[in-house]
Chains A and B, each alone.
Chain A
Amino acid sequence: MSARPRNENGGRIFPIPQRKLPYCNLGGGHAAMLIQKVVPGRDPVIKGSREGLRIIFPIRHSFEEAFDALAANLAGAGGFFEGARSVLEPSRELTNLEADQIKDLLAEYGLELSQIRPSAATRHSASARMRETKDLKEIKEKGTRQAAVTAVPAPEARTSAAQAFPQGEQALLIRNTVRSGQKIQFDGNITVLGDVNPGAEIIAAGDILVFGALKGTAHAGSCGDRQAVVAALRLRPVQLRIAELIVRAPDKDDGVNVPEIAQIRNDAIVVEPFASGWNLAERKNGRIKGRRGKA
């Protein structure tokens, strides 16, 4: 990553941090990401909630494409979801035939479809799509940082396709250090303002953010959400789990003292320095490197 990527018109494109786009298969460089359709909710996502599982089912081009993507997702999860009740949230109304197909697919994996709930965004999807194309055009013309920000919908828009930034998600906030022997379990995201000491456990259906040192055990995406992340100012967990994957820290403490984030990439948990605008320069200069935990 030497010079900042430039778009076809020669305008500068400010790179968007990779982690903010969980739905896009990150193929080419940053420029490629922007010019491709950068829209969240491209792939089906399975999230845990109080009612059981929520299957967010965006239909972009065709039902078949979305169906295949959901089948691939379920196949990848193994038997992880067996016995769970699920609510399907498609981005548009489904026909009876389509609903039956989904029911059968889910039944194959031991999932019971209890409800189909088209997301509120179905109302907005058309206008949202228009807005997106307009913004992408703006980038190509102006290539300014402002346009880049508006064009990229926030990661929080997981809950439904194309809700406007900055819609957020609920998170449980713990304003203490979590001590050994304490267990925090929540069907959502968890943020700790303090340390998580060895012997403590944090279990979240969503993300886990520790504004301090994570030295205990963290399990994000505990209901099977592979998009969940674990981030900490100092990531030194006894054990780290995301969905069904487990890693432990490398035996030798390499003394990396920057905020780090762990997420699943290509079927493995990858730990890398947390990069957003403020420390991109250091990342670019290669002063910060990523590392992989042993599985």
Chain B
Amino acid sequence: MDSMVLVVTSGKGGVGKTTTVANIGTGLAKRGKKVVMVDADIGLRNLDVVMGLENRIVFDLVDVVEGQCRLKQALVKDRRLEGLYLLPAAQTREKDAVQPEQMKALCDELRQEFDYVVIDCPAGIEQGFKNAIAGADEALIVTTPEVSAVRDADRIVGLLQASGLTNPKLIINRIRPDMVKKGDMIGIEDVNGVLALDLLGVIPDDESIIISTNRGEPVVLDKNSHAGEAYRNIVARIEGEDVPLMSLDFDDGFIGKLKKMFGI
């Protein structure tokens, strides 16, 4: 099967790109695929922290690009799953340490070995963004249901289309169904009314995310987490399965638990 290079981008910072990369990478590896996650956020690396691998880093992406080490030496193997690797960013360098052509060459090299290459794009539209999208086949745009995030995502769509990534997919993160119902938060249709992209998934706002990022355990592995279930669905859709959007009507109270016990 052909390898796929995915870049997860957003424009706005803090909407959940790194979390999404960690969970998609982990989810795909759980299904038996060979996955490498690439942190392209040079200078402000986070992917290693979210994966819980920060004390296993010896070499990083800039070392590889500058020829200080071989690619294999820089790849960090995940502590839980077979077939999952991380290529960390440099923390002490800056975004101009890498050029788009170098990223493209790197992605082509990674393509030989792995089924999926998932790239974590930094926020913004400058050199970091250009580097991250240089080697990608497909783009995933993450946004939250907020006007400012949607505005930035729209800008990113324009830039992606200009760079040849013509059909980015959309992930709406941190949606709060109760607020949407009350009309306090813009909903899926409003977001996609502006962006007009294929919807890959919708992830509800979930406290378990905070716990998982602090512990370095991606939430996709957690059976009880709603966000985890959403990520599992997204991974299934990336693999080509036709999974309907999960219902965002959560009933976690006592009566809800009682209902679940009786299978209602």
Which A residues contact B (CB, under 8 angstroms)?
177, 179-182, 195, 197-199, 215
Q: How far is the CA of A281 from the CA of B28 in the complex (A)?
A: 60
B38 to chain A, nearest CB (A): 26
Partner of A177, one of B152, B159, B196: B196
The residue among A177, A195, A215 with the most chain B CB atoms within 10 A of its own CB is A177
Chain B residue at minimum C-beta to C-beta distance from A179:
B158
Alpha-carbon gap, A101 to B103, bound state (A)? 66
Known A-B contacts: A179-B158, A180-B155, A199-B151. Give 20 more (CB < 8 A): A177-B196, A179-B154, A179-B155, A179-B157, A179-B161, A180-B151, A180-B154, A180-B158, A181-B155, A181-B158, A182-B158, A195-B194, A195-B196, A197-B154, A197-B194, A198-B154, A198-B194, A199-B154, A199-B155, A215-B194
Residues of A near B155 (CB, < 8 A) are: 179-181, 199
A198 to B196, alpha carbons, bound, how many Å?
14
Cα–Cα distance between A76 and B194 once the two chains are bound (Å):
39
Counting contact residues on chain B (CB < 8 A from A), the size range is 10 to 19
What chain B residues lie within 8 Å of A215 (beta carbons)? 194
Considering the chains assembled together, what is the distance between the CA atoms of A180 and B194 in angstroms?
10
Residue of B nearest to A215 (CB): B194
Instruction: Report which residue of B151, B155, B158, B159 has the largest number of chain A beta carbons within 10 angstroms of its beta carbon.
Output: B158
Which among B152, B161, B194 has the highest number of chain A CB atoms within 10 Å?
B194
Q: What are 11 inter-chain pairs, A to B, with CB distance below 8 A?
A: A177-B196, A179-B158, A180-B151, A180-B155, A180-B158, A181-B158, A182-B158, A195-B196, A197-B154, A198-B154, A198-B194
A211 to B: closest C-beta gap in Å: 15
Nearest to B160 among chain A residues (CB) is A179
Contacts of B157 in A (CB 8 A): 179
What is the CB-to-nearest-CB distance from B147 to chain A, in angstroms, rounded to a whole number? 9
Which 6 A-B pairs rank lowest in CB-CB distance, beginning with the nearest? A179-B158, A180-B154, A181-B155, A180-B155, A179-B154, A197-B154
Residue in chain A with minimal CB distance to B159: A181
Tell me the minimal C-beta distance from A200 to chain B in angstroms.
8
Chain A CB within 10 Å, residue with most, of B154, B155, B161? B154
Q: Separation in Å of the A116 CB from the closest CB of chain B?
A: 43
Query: In the assembly, what is the distance between CA of A179 and CA of B196, in Å?
Result: 11
Per the bound structure, the CA–CA distance linking A25 and B158 in Å amounts to 43
Minimum CB–CB distance for B11 against chain A, Å: 9
A182: chain B residues at CB < 8 Å are 158
Tell me the bound Cα distance from A199 to B150 in angstroms: 11
What's the nearest-Cβ distance from chain A to residue B9, in Å? 14
Chain A neighbourhood of B194, CB < 8 A: 195, 197-198, 215
Most chain B beta-carbon contacts within 10 A, residue among A179, A197, A199: A179
Task: Give min CB distance, B126 to chain A, whole Å.
Answer: 13
A179 vs B152: C-alpha distance when bound (angstroms): 10
Chain B residues closer than 8 Å to A181, beta-carbon distance: 154-155, 158-159
Q: Is the CB of B151 within 8 A of A198?
A: yes
The B131-182 residues at the A interface (CB cut-off 8 A) are 151-152, 154-155, 157-159, 161
Provide the residues of chain A in CB contact with B159, threshold 8 Å.
Answer: 181
